[in-house]
Amino acid sequence: MTRTALIVGASGITGANLARELIDDGWTVHGLARRPGHAVEGLRPVAADLLDPAGLKAALAGLAPTHVFLTTWMRNATEAENIRVNGAMVRNLLDAVRPARSVRHVALVTGLKHYLGPFDAYATGGTLPQTPLREEQPRLPIENFYYAQEDEVYAAAARDGFTWSIHRPHTVIGQAVGNAMNMGTTLAVYASLCRESGRPFRWPGSAAQWNGLSDVTDARLLAKHLLWAATTELAWNEAFNVANGDVWRWNWLWPRLAGWFGVEPAGFDGTVHPLEPTMAQDGPLWREIVARHGLVEPDLGRLASPWHTDLDLGRPIEVMTDMTKSRKLGFTAYQPTEESFFDLFEQLRADRLIP
Ligand SMILES: NC(=O)c1ccc[n+]([C@@H]2O[C@H](COP(=O)([O-])OP(=O)(O)OC[C@H]3O[C@@H](n4cnc5c(N)ncnc54)[C@H](OP(=O)(O)O)[C@@H]3O)[C@@H](O)[C@H]2O)c1
């Protein structure tokens, strides 16, 4: 059966890794973004803005995707604005592919903010959710752009007759440049800055995150999960957590990351030391490092997203996800987290993004 994918957000951390997975699996893959580029070999780029319905329809005319993967979002100042903008992006896309009558399945990638609450009330207010997080936990009684995106998918599925799957990763570790949230690259750049300046690789987060159990989601494992759910009937019309499958503590992983870079680790010392104010001063030092080592990205802001790493590592509870639902339905892929980070660091070095 011919499988033609439309990846929406194809240059992002999720979308680019999914493109590689589907192309390797023999799919025809169209990749939509405002600047889709040619980063993934074999990807057919579609340049369009999801907030421009007419331009979007024109860009998608003539395409007949069987599977749509929504791996995109835009960051806004408030959750109300996130809901308005991110809901419209999903709605506009599902309206634009409608005339082709070709779509059989739509996969939507959201995340653990589904359980933890949106950024403006991120794991801070009210009752904290029980961990490990489970898919059966009800929606929180506060507004959340993930709920708005889900509701757009459910409404279009009922109208147009396609199946759907929802994917909720934890922090995604993988390669992307210029995207919104990338903890792996942020820590790689931070460690490189520490090494070049002789600073210790200081833990920036909370006691709960330092001492508690954690997991993350390798972008390559997320891609395998998206492929699995889109092509496995038992997984249709279901929502899933997606994580590597191992649990560990940052107080175990942090010294190992430090060891990879040859920097001195410094653990939780009773105070949270956010990365954002520290790295805000590091632009000139990064440009020096780039010049000295012949690297390719002098703009620290295109590689590092310290605001997001601070939010994740500063949470007041330990956060990990339950994978039982996927496992019971047959998804058994597993990814050791240490290798997620080390593979990414090797890749960043090979691509001359870090020294
Ligand atoms: N990154 C993480 O650690 C993480 C963790 C958990 C959950 N999530 C969730 O995963 C989902 C996907 O996020 P991600 O991190 O993979 O995204 P990302 O890396 O920031 O990539 C976003 C993609 O969407 C495209 N895009 C943005 N605005 C667009 C527009 N108006 N029109 C067309 N394309 C547009 C971007 O390309 P252009 O800028 O060129 O348009 C890019 O290809 C989000 O719901 C996010 O909250 C992410």
| Average pLDDT of the residues in 141-155 | 96
- Per DSSP, 137 falls in state S
Query: What is the pLDDT at residue 125?
Result: 54
Q: Is the C-beta atom of 9 inside 6 A of ligand 1?
A: yes
Q: Is the C-beta atom of 73 inside 6 A of ligand 1?
A: yes
Q: How many angstroms separate the CA atoms of 307 and 144, rounded?
A: 19
| Average pLDDT of the residues in 311-316 | 94
Q: How many angstroms separate the CA atoms of 84 and 100, rounded?
A: 26
In the reported structure, the alpha carbon of residue 79 is separated from the centroid of ligand 1 by a whole-number distance in angstroms of 16
Q: Whose structure tokens read 């780039």?
A: 290
In the reported structure, the alpha carbon of residue 109 is separated from the centroid of ligand 1 by a whole-number distance in angstroms of 9
Q: What percent of the chain has pLDDT over 90?
A: 94
Asked if 68 and 8 touch (Cβ cutoff 8 Å), the reply is yes
Q: What percent of the chain has pLDDT over 70?
A: 98
Asked if 106 and 41 touch (Cβ cutoff 8 Å), the reply is no
Q: Is the C-beta atom of 148 inside 6 A of ligand 1?
A: no
pLDDT, tens only, 239-261: 999 999 999 999 999 999 999 99
Which helix (H) or strand (E) segment is 218 a member of? strand 217-218
pTM: 0.98
Q: Which atom of ligand 1 is nearest to the CA of 71?
A: 12
In the reported structure, the alpha carbon of residue 73 is separated from the centroid of ligand 1 by a whole-number distance in angstroms of 4
Q: Is the C-beta atom of 293 inside 6 A of ligand 1?
A: no
Query: What is the pLDDT at residue 120?
Result: 72
Query: What is the pLDDT at residue 192?
Result: 98
Query: What is the pLDDT at residue 201?
Result: 98
pLDDT at residue 1 is higher than 70:
no
Task: Count the residues in the chain.
Answer: 355
pLDDT, tens only, 65-115: 999 999 999 999 999 999 999 999 999 999 999 999 999 999 999 999 999
Tell me phi and psi for residue 118, to 5 degrees. Answer: -70, 170
Indicate the Cα dihedral angle 344, 349, 352, 355, nearest 10°.
130
Q: Predicted confidence band at 291 (pLDDT cuts at 50, 70, 90)?
A: very high
**Domains annotated on the chain, with CATH:** 4-172+216-242 (3.40.50.720), 178-215+247-319+335-350 (no CATH)
The overall average pLDDT reported for the chain is 96
Q: Predicted confidence band at 37 (pLDDT cuts at 50, 70, 90)?
A: confident
Q: How far is CA 248 from CA 182, 211, 242, 243, 287, in A?
A: 20, 10, 16, 12, 34
Which helix (H) or strand (E) segment is 301 a member of? helix 300-303
